[in-house]
Chain A
Amino acid sequence: MPVLSYIQAVTQALKEEMQRDEKVFVLGEDVGKRGGVFRATDGLYDEFGEDRVLDTPLAESAIAGVGIGAAMYGMRPVAEMQFADFIMPAVNQIISEAAKIRYRSNNDWQAPITIRAPYGGGVHGALYHSQSVESVFANQPGLKIVMPSTPYDVKGLLKASIRDNDPVLFFEHKRAYRLIKGEVPDEDYTLPIGKADVKREGSDITVITYGLCVHFALQAAEKLAEEGIDAHILDLRTVYPLDKESIIEAASKTGKVLLVSEDNKEGGIISEVSAIISENCLFDLDAPVQRLAGPDVPSMPYAPTMEKFFMMNPDKVEKAMRDLAEF
């Protein structure tokens, strides 16, 4: 099986979906001739032409709005926000229009749009190029938010997002783009949206996380295994709506739960996960549910020391996992 980087999996999924379905097209800033600032749409312009790979003005609201309109008329747009940080001008389009159109029209209309956006820090991107924005959208019924951790999941979930009949926000960790590599089958496959995935079986503690942090947890788990601490790791993959069943199962398995997120701590995805666990797992819990997340400061700083302080890393995760195991 070929080994692809995280970003190659994105490109492959887009390419295959565009080949499969003429209605699929991409639009965004520099996605055409340039092939995207991260090269995620590399080669698509050459293969599919300017009608299906649209370079847009620097206007995120328009990118989302055009995409939503096209989707409502039967197209399958994949809109790219160059950085998740810049999605804010498009929030009205996404939340007020895309998320609500099916409900508002009593099923007469739908907006099958996929909005891709690179998020996350650790790349010296500073304030406007490091943010995690998922929690902004994570209480909007009608939206789905997918945040894969591995190239395999990227391909399967991006294809599923494009084929989904409702709007999907597809957040890709920009540091994972070239850092994370993995086996990806050549053939066409999709993975179910809304399903979490056990990335490691264990019996001492449960770590529930998503995105790049899954890898930090896996690395920490390998180290801790040498000390006899056996970690169970659940990758949420879809952070909205959450896979409650898998969360409850994973939390109940060990009764000691660590939730990890790169996002600010308060009001994040993992806060909701924590609430699900406390509603359902009281009598299986053996320790207080722990959250490990970024500090509640406005954004990732630029100074390397401060970025390191903010950014999640395997050491921080390992320390928190060991602490919980010893409780």
Chain B
Amino acid sequence: MGLEKINMPQLGESVTEGTISTWLVQPGDTVNKYDPIAEVMTDKVNAEVPSSFTGTIKELVAQEGDTIEVGDLMCYVEVEGAGSVSDDEPSPAQEDPVAEEKPNKEEKPVKKPAKQEKGSKKRYSPAVITLAQEHEIDLNQVEGSGRGGRITRKDIEKLIESGNIPTAGSAPAKEEPKQEQQAPAQPAPAAASGSAVPNVQAGEGDIEIPVTGVRKAIASNMVKSKTEIPHAWMMVEVDVTNLVELRNAKKKQFKDQEGFSLTYFAFFVKAVAQALKEYPQLNSSWAGDKIIQRKAINLNIAVAKEDQLFVPVIRNADEKSIKGIAKDITDLAGKARQGKLTSKDMEGGTFTVNNTGSFGSVQSMGVINHPQAAILQVESIVKKPVYQNGMFGARDMVNLCLSLDHRVLDGLVAGNFLARVKEILEKMSEENTSVY
């Protein structure tokens, strides 16, 4: 047994330091070479740091939140054979006597060391795919012994024989914190990338940005959502002239009294929460052999931060006033921008409301936030000439776009729901709506 150091790698051309956001391993964990050991934030990217060795984590030198210069020590790994860390160097806290034993002399040379070209790791033979499907093996968790790290049929057969089958649900515990941190990514209209690796080559001068952390989570959630959920789409146009008057009349006073803004979005969220109470079918999830209708109305809202999108949750939105909702929106948006959202802020959403209007969008097809049943996009409020009561008038109009899981919902109920949201919004006015 020997010791090796893992140092902060160069994570980008101009990156000089990185902040450890999460350790994905703990002392005592066994890691394979290239396994992710930590998530690191730099001013450019969120990245996973891969292990440089196969071995056991001995000591985490850097703590979560620490900012480490590129090349500086992150942790120690105990490896087979002699390590490169010599005795006079600062060594880990407790000396394990076993660790000092000299390398295992007659470990039989294994057949062929898997050459780490990595190239064909993801190319599976028919036999491997068949066996993996039959035994529900998650191939991402399997180490291949074939050329270029290819997973061979024999690798799988040995795995099955050992009974230690890595299924999709049994991801190693160390990955869990990562999932929490990356949180449900927002189904942004623009998101497209998938998990299948397309053969795209970078040309000269192109910049290659590693897909990690939140971006990766967004990509896989989008693919999951778009491939699993049969999306249907509808849109209604809502006259919010009265609502605009109401908000304009109150916003100054509100800001002065409460210390935060009274946004249009709060009114829309309120209207959606109210309509969901009447149409609980939209507040549900597809669960294979059943549909689960949620009691709580917890609304995800989208908050953007540079290249990241988060979907924190306004809990029990149906129990809150417009002010309460506006406060939640302000709090959650602030937390997101400061990177302080916790996994608790993200959990338990039952329906998503997306404020696409904030970018000036007037129409968009949202991708449903898996496993929810629908997503509502609130577009820009636009002044339009509208023919009404025998004459044209300038009215404030807004489009509400709804994407729905057609397994759970049909046009009728979704249409009724949208009509109800429209009705609520059109009735909002200074005379009959209180923000408190």
Contacts and interface: CB of A to CB of B under 8 A. Distances in A.
B112 A287 contact: no
| B interface secondary structure, majority | helix
A298 interface: no
A204 B155 CA distance: 11
B111 A285 contact: no
B150 A327 contact: yes
Contact of A285 (B127, B146, B154): B127
B148 to A, nearest CB: 9
Nearest to B128: A286
A255 interface: yes
Contact of B146 (A228, A254, A284, A326): A326
A187 interface: no
Contacts of B125: 255, 285-287
Contacts of B126: 282-286
Contacts of A327: 146-147, 150, 152
Given A284-B130, A287-B125, A228 B153 contact: no
Interface in A225-259: 227-229, 254-256
Interface in A243-282: 254-256, 282
A228 B111 contact: yes
Contacts of B154: 203-204, 286
Interface in B137-162: 146-147, 150, 152-154
Interface string A284-327: 11110000000000000000000000000000000000000011
Residue of A255, A256, A282 ringed by the most chain B CB atoms within 10 A = A255
Contacts of B127: 255, 283-286
Given A255-B125, A286-B125, A227 B111 contact: yes
A326 B130 contact: no
A287 B126 CA distance: 9
A283 B126 CA distance: 5
Given A326-B146, A326-B147, A283 B130 contact: yes
A229 B152 CA distance: 14
Interface string A30-48: 0000000000000000000
A175 to B, nearest CB: 33
A255 B131 CA distance: 12
Contacts of A285: 125-127
A286 B131 CA distance: 11
A228 B145 CA distance: 13
Contacts of A287: 125
A144 B144 CA distance: 44
Nearest to A204: B154
A326 B146 CA distance: 6
A17 B213 CA distance: 79
Nearest to B112: A326
Interface in B97-118: 111-112
Contacts of B128: 286
Contacts of A203: 154
Residue of B126, B127, B128 ringed by the most chain A CB atoms within 10 A = B127
B153 A286 contact: yes
B129 to A, nearest CB: 8
A285 B153 CA distance: 8
A327 to B, nearest CB: 5
A67 B154 CA distance: 52
Residue of A203, A229, A254, A326 ringed by the most chain B CB atoms within 10 A = A326
Nearest to A282: B126
Contacts of A286: 125-128, 152-154
A282 B153 CA distance: 13
Contacts of A326: 112, 146-147
B108 to A, nearest CB: 9
Contact of A255 (B111, B147, B153): B153
A256 B146 CA distance: 12
Nearest to B108: A228
Interface string A169-213: 000000000000000000000000000000000011000000000
Contacts of A282: 126
A28 B173 CA distance: 78
A25 to B, nearest CB: 52
Contacts of B130: 283-284
A54 B295 CA distance: 99
Contacts of B152: 286, 327
Nearest to B153: A286
Contacts of B150: 327
Contacts of A283: 126-127, 129-130
A130 to B, nearest CB: 35
A256 B125 CA distance: 10
A254 B130 CA distance: 14
B401 to A, nearest CB: 44
21 contacts: A227-B111, A228-B111, A229-B111, A255-B125, A255-B153, A256-B153, A282-B126, A284-B127, A284-B153, A285-B127, A286-B125, A286-B126, A286-B128, A286-B152, A286-B154, A287-B125, A326-B112, A327-B146, A327-B147, A327-B150, A327-B152
5 closest residue pairs by CB, A with B: A286-B153, A283-B130, A228-B111, A286-B127, A286-B125
Given A284-B153, A286-B127, 14 more contacts: A254-B153, A255-B125, A255-B127, A255-B153, A256-B153, A282-B126, A283-B127, A284-B127, A285-B126, A285-B127, A286-B153, A286-B154, A327-B146, A327-B152
Interface of B: 111-112, 125-130, 146-147, 150, 152-154
